[in-house]
Amino acid sequence: MNQTNARRTTFSFAPPVDSATAWHLHLEDLATKITEAFPGASTDVEGDLGPRSADALSFEVPLGDGVWLEGLATTPYPEVGSIMVMQASAEEAAHFAVWLRDSFVPSPDLVHFTSELALDAGVDTYGIIPPHGSTDEIARTLQQHIESTERR
């Protein structure tokens, strides 16, 4: 995984806007599943975070070759929330997105995403992680998102 020159951004993964409780997100469950799936991962419940009361879970997961991915999950309402991976390349974020799609959310068509780049550019629509496909295919989807956002 050679990511030294890759464009990095914070990616946010969430359920479809019109079905915000579709993931039934519980931070304790997420923490358990992260540490089971990523040996060496660490998680920490943060409590209230941000201007609006929301429970939060920070995490770090090893991706191999000394690469670590930092993330933050928040739940402002019961069973409603999102998961961010911080300053990640498309390839790094894809590893987490595939795990999220295949091992955590109840259906593979429920993972939508945006990025800090998109939000900073005023883009308020979400992309969809394809419900099938390899990590490389998902990385291409995320990279296309970065490139199309940068062209705006």
Q: What is the mean pLDDT, run by run of 10 residues, along the chain of 152 residues?
A: 73 96 96 96 78 81 94 93 97 97 96 96 93 96 93 74
CB 41 within 8 A of CB 34: yes
List strand residue ranges (DSSP E) for 78-116, in order.
80-88, 112-115
Position 104: which residue type?
F
Q: How far is CA 112 from CA 19, 62, 87, 141, in A?
A: 11, 23, 18, 12
pLDDT of residue 73: 96
pLDDT value at position 45? 86
pLDDT at 13: 98
Q: How far apart are CA 118 and CA 91, in angstroms?
A: 17
Residue with tokens 């990511």: 3
Residue 3, pLDDT score: 52
- Coil, strand or helix at 89: coil
C-beta of residue 95 within 8 angstroms of C-beta of residue 63: yes
How far apart, in Å, are the Cα atoms of 26 and each of 17, 18, 76? 18, 19, 11
Q: What's the rounded Cα separation, in Å, for the pair 82 and 73?
A: 6
Listed in order, strand segments (DSSP E) in the chain are 9-14, 42-45, 55-64, 67-77, 80-88, 112-115, 127-128
Q: Which residues pair with 67 in a beta bridge?
A: 64
Q: How far is CA 125 from the centre of its chain?
A: 16
Encoding tokens for residue 115? 């990025």
